[in-house]
Amino acid sequence: MGTREQIVAAADRLFYEHGFEHTSFAAIAEAVRISRGNFYYHFKTKDEILAAVIASRVEATREMLRSWADESGDPAERIRLFIRIVVTNGPDIRAFGCPVGTLTAELAKLRHPSRPEATALFTLFRDWLGEQFTALGHETDADAMAMHVLTFSQGVATLANAFGDEDFVRREVDRLEAWLATC
């Protein structure tokens, strides 16, 4: 892995764990074990790193959605794979929340120019879920149902982070899977 990719990977993790603004160049440089000076050879501004991190997350998300589509041809099962992320990534979510939700919220407060790109991460999930609901025969309200599933995931992530309660997550997952079964 080249230095640039290492920087993006380290920044991605640090932005998630500590937030974008709270993460300094020094912290990223230390994580990658390069000097702050060398850092600026690869990225001229902090905003450039953020753009690269978001682009990297977009690619990783696309890859994950592809792998879910490969894993099952059943749209309902694909949606369940999404619903269960809050369990699969339980420890990270309890510690740091949802990487997409917390980033979009922070960039909104900072009025950051990269905010639309962060929101586009949500749109990837939204459109993919919409396609699955369409395949289930819910053409007219596929998008509303996709948004409902996203609402669930964001609510669960925020409260799992606040209360650190694994059982709560399990209950909400069961509830939404029961709802999905009636669709």
Judged by the rule CB under 7 A, the positions of this chain that interact with DNA are 3, 23-27, 33-38, 40-42, 44-47
- The residue within the footprint of a second copy, chosen from 43, 82, 122, 133 (CB under 8 A), is 122
Residue 40 interacts, among a second copy, DNA, none and using kind-specific CB cut-offs from 5 to 8 Å, with DNA
CB of 63 to a second copy, least distance (A): 22
**Exposed/middle/buried for residue 167 (C-beta within 10 Å: 0-12, 13-18, 19+):** exposed
Of 46 and 84, which CB lies nearer to DNA in the complex structure?
46
Pattern 131-160, a second copy, x by CB under 8 A = -------------x--xx-xxxxxxx-xx-
For 166-174, the CB contacts below 8 A with 24+ separation are 166/90, 166/94, 169/86, 169/87, 169/90, 169/93, 170/87, 172/86, 173/83, 173/84, 173/86, 173/87
Of 4 and 175, which CB lies nearer to DNA in the complex structure?
4
